[in-house]
Amino acid sequence: MSRVEIVDFAQIAPVACPCGEARRALADVADFPGTIHRTEISTDARTHYHRRLTEVYYFLECGPDAQMELDGQRIAVQPQMCVLIRPGVRHRAIGRMSVLIFVLPKFDPDDEHFD
């Protein structure tokens, strides 16, 4: 087993997600408890929640009007901000942005729920 994992997001195929398009990494690393996603948020992100997963959004790039909607309340976001989203919080990104999303435990597409 390697003691180091290297991720090149440019080599990971993107997949559609409620927020736009995600490149998901480290799902196959057995001894790492989570996953990390480089996600390109589209302007029409869908509100969703997770029953088990905790997500941390770290904003890399975003427009001046970018926001997160968290349980119906909107907050302005900007690069270098971080938002911790616990299980059960309905959330969506508003506006175009690039984010790193840390997911604990490992991302499970069956834990994406919509009202």
Residue pLDDT, tens place only, 78-90: 999 999 999 999 9
**61: its two tokens:** 């790039």
Residues 67 and 77: beta-carbon distance below 8 Å: yes
Per-residue pLDDT at 37 exceeds 90: yes
Per-residue pLDDT at 1 exceeds 70: no
What average pLDDT score do residues 41-48 get?
Answer: 86
Predicted confidence band of residue 50 (pLDDT cuts 50, 70, 90): very high
**17: its two tokens:** 């997600």
All structural domains of the chain with their residue ranges: 24-82
Predicted confidence band of residue 28 (pLDDT cuts 50, 70, 90): very high
Q: pTM here?
A: 0.93
The tally of CA atoms less than 13 A away on the side-chain side of residue 99 is 30
